[in-house]
Amino acid sequence: MSDGQAQHDGSTTQAAAAQAQSREPGAALGPGIAPPAEPEGLDARFRIAASVTRPVAKPYPRKDGEPLYRPLHVLTSDPAASRLEGSVALLNIPFEALAPGPEGRFFKVDSSDGALNERYRRADLDEPAVLMRSGYEPSPSEPRFHQQMVYAVCSSVYATFRGALGRHIAWGFTRPDDQARLILRPFAFKGANACYDKDAGALCFGYDVAPAQMQGNRTLPGGFVFTCLSHDVVAHELTHALLDGMRSSFSMPSGPDVAAFHEGFADLVAIFQRLSYKEMVHAAIRQSRGVLEQAPLLTDLARQLGWVYGKQAALRSALSQGEPVLYDAGAEPHQLGGVLVCAVFEAYLTIFRRKTAPLLRLASNGTGISPPGELPPDLAHMLAHTASSLASHFLALLIRAIDYCPPVDVRFGEYLRALITADHDLVPDDPWAYREALIDAFSRRNIYPRYVPTLAEDALLWRAPRRAMAPLGELDFAHLRFDGDPACASGAQELSRQAGVLGEFATRPEHLHEFGLVARSVAQAMGATAALPEVRSIRTARRVGPDGQIVFDLVAEITQSIEVRATDTAAAYEVMGGATVILNPEGEIRYVISKSPASCERVLRRRQFMDSPLGQQFWRIEGRRYVEKGPLFSMLHAD
């Protein structure tokens, strides 16, 4: 069974589900194998992964007299869009001193052309004349604007993630020379594609020649098309890199939803980030007379690139045409990710209609139907403001919910629970029924969480640990040491100390099951070998609610893999498990969102996925063991 099927597993009763809402059952360890009364401990208890102490760049320390922001021009869609459609926006990028490139704290732009083997003149955004003009003017024929475009969009999206998460973000790559900065390559290769190269720690954008037939699109037939000038492509690729830094295990295609989630989440970030550009939203509102479903400027993704691919339309859309496309575990990742996109965007449209209904009633003498003709300017402005601010709220929720997902093998139904819990934590009263709209939109597409008794909001919330656990005194905020900012630990030694406290607690024999971990003897009994649990990350989170209250948490991941040994008829393969742990400032465990690697059901599902046509796109058998065919991001964005 998958998250897209309405039925629960036959062995899971509603009563049992109500008691295990924040973990996936792990009692069935294998045919005829029952867990011991008290799980056995591990010889060497756990490891601390290198990712715990991975370098994190801090924002630029602004000096007295320096500006808060650096205004820079960007394209809100792509070069084929009209300026009358709000295609150019002036973004206020958090100010930092820049070297030519530009090179800043988080990003380094590489101006080399991988196809022509030459290097273009680097963009110098601190040059006085450039500063006076708010950067280079948008132009597809000016390489320095290409560099400005990728830097500005990436800086804006990064700032959005940092604000939503309430902390600084470490990248997921391990490039030895510079782990704090992501390289941006706007001219990386010839080809109408782009990808996140994890090995190189770089976003690589291609360019190509447009087809000879490009009627209906403002693109020169046979002219150049640059993916780095598509706002959606840049935001999408950066989201892959940021999500990889937040949850590196999501980069392993362990199930049908994992690759699709990466694609759908990246598309959602691109859409809602673009909706924050008020010039574009205002133009679209005027054209569609306030009906967002009729505003392709806002709902289409990568319009120019879609025409280049011969689709005669945008590459993807956030709208369902006709009846919603239902969840299908065997669908191609981009198609399945589109189901997630349409579900979230439907919820957004529902809330937009609720919030704007009073405005439309006032403007239409109570009918709620706009009279013929253009919208009154004041009404168009208020509708655009609502659409833009609501998009920012949804985007923050989508990002914040990643902290409430299990650490491995994410499924769409689990992401729904993460959304509901993340929103409930910050906005308990929910006056506009955001959570109800999300539940309805997901269920209309047959996306259901597993192991819940109903679709009631309180049934979908993650729960506190079933076993009573004492607070971790050494992880309360009185014992944490910061580097002048609650979002930043004092250093690698402090992060290692925090990870050690959590690892020692989670791997106590009486706690293993609660944290989705398994003893070696149990794994051996089911024909598998258990690796040591690893604390993968531990970080503080600072969030501000709508009424101004500040919520502090400590968010951590601990994972463990088991390898199911090869048999005469089957190759060996790995199953990951573990838990996301969220603690409050007093060191009390609020949530343990766990998945056992030794769950008989998960072990079987993993094998079935790798043997399926979809799984065979990512996995192959080599030396009697399943291995990945290549990096997930390269396979997702292959031509």
Select, from the ranges 80-84, 314-318, 582-586, the one with the highest average predicted confidence (pLDDT): 582-586
CA distances from 382 to 283, 356, 378 (A): 13, 9, 6
pTM strictly above 0.85: yes
Question: Residue 572: which residues within 8 A CB-CB, separation 6 or more?
Answer: 563, 564, 565, 566, 624, 625, 626
Going by the DSSP 8-state scheme, the letter that residue 615 receives in this structure is: G
pLDDT class of 638 with cuts at 50, 70, 90: low
pLDDT (average), residues 489-518:
92
Let me know: does 58 contact 488? Beta carbons within 8 Å.
Answer: yes
**1-5, 47-51, 288-292, 545-549: the lowest-pLDDT one:** 1-5
Extract the tokens encoding 8. 């629960």
CA separation (Å) from 332 to 100, 322, 336, 362?
A: 41, 20, 6, 46
What residue spans of 123-230 are helical by DSSP H? Answer: 128-132, 143-165
* C-beta neighbour count of 17 within 10 angstroms: 19
**Cα within 13 Å of Cα(299), Cβ side:** 22
- DSSP letters, 406-451, are -SSS--HHHHHHHHHHHHHHH-SS-TT-HHHHHHHHHHTTT---SS
Q: At what angle do helices 231-246 and 256-274 cross, to 10 degrees?
A: 130
For 28, the token pair is: 């069935």
pLDDT of residue 93: 93
pLDDT tens-digit series, residues 255-291: 999 999 999 999 999 999 999 888 889 888 988 888 8
396-413 residue pLDDT tens: 999 999 999 999 999 999
pLDDT digit string (tens) for 553-596?
999 999 999 999 998 888 999 999 999 999 999 999 999 999 99
- Please tell us whether the domain made up of 83-246 is placed in CATH 3.90.320: no
In the chain, where are the structural domains located?
A: 35-66+465-598, 83-246
What pLDDT digit, counting tens, does each position of 450-468 carry?
Answer: 999 999 999 999 998 988 8
Q: Give 10-32 pLDDT, tens digit per residue.
A: 333 343 444 444 555 444 334 33
